[in-house]
Amino acid sequence: KAGVTQTPRYLIKTRGQQVTLSCSPISGHRSVSWYQQTPGQGLQFLFEYFSETQRNKGNFPGRFSGRQFSNSRSEMNVSTLELGDSALYLCASSSTSGAGEQYFGPGTRLTVT
Amino acid sequence: DQQVKQNSPSLSVQEGRISILNCDYTNSMFDYFLWYKKYPAEGPTFLISISSIKDKNEDGRFTVFLNKSAKHLSLHIVPSQPGDSAVYFCAATDRDDKIIFGKGTRLHILP
């Protein structure tokens, strides 16, 4: 089985722009979660989608949004980028929602200048 | 307020010895705990998990211990090998299935 893929792997944007990141889960997995990783804060949960519905949401501002398509692929959007949004954004898929083993993609490294 | 805490940012252990990584949590509603390992430029990979109804789970060189009364869990790696050098994340889930990660501990295995 192919693993979780994320595109693009690296991205440089300027403040005020918006960005869309993409995640393709493992075939058959219906749950996709997004995380932000920064050196000071570790891995922080953004949101989880299961069967096209947002099941859980972390404590991030409304500038961070996501969606999931019928093929389980997911996109994450960040609008009005700020310098502090520079981070590694990780996507993880799972066959079930919530608790349990997740499989992570390699991440998208976003740099905001 | 951090609900899952890994108080040691880094740990160095001699190859062949035991590595013990610690994790504390504050939310008594957490009912499932996981450990992930992360190499640079890769996403985290699942290592081992434990349900709150157990106090120990073993998988090869990896053992996780859970002390519910102390709200503490630990990951033991024995014997430690060079390939174990990585960042280890502790994670916990509650009944709403929200997953909370700690900030990670960087493990260095010394030759």
Residue found by looking up tokens 């157990």 in the block: B54
Q: pLDDT confidence of A38, banded at 50, 70, 90? A: confident
What digits encode the pLDDT tens for the residues B7-40?
999 999 999 999 999 999 999 989 899 999 999 8
A56 interfaces chain B, CB cutoff of 8 Å = yes
How far is B8 from chain A, CA to nearest CA, in Å? Answer: 13
B48: closest chain A residue by CA: A101
Q: pLDDT confidence of A97, banded at 50, 70, 90? A: confident
Mutate to test the interface with B, among A29, A31, A32, A43 (most CBs of B within 10 A): A43
Look at residue B9 in the predicted model and tell me its pLDDT.
Answer: 92
Q: How far apart are the first and last CA of chain B?
A: 37
Three-state DSSP state, B82: helix
B111 interfaces chain A, CB cutoff of 8 Å = no
Q: Under 8 Å CB-to-CB from A41, ≥6 apart: which residues? A: B103
pLDDT over 80 (residue A39): no
A62 interfaces chain B, CB cutoff of 8 Å = no
B93: closest chain A residue by CA: A99
The one-letter amino acid code at A79 reads S
Q: What is the mean pLDDT of residues B62-76?
A: 97
A39 interfaces chain B, CB cutoff of 8 Å = no
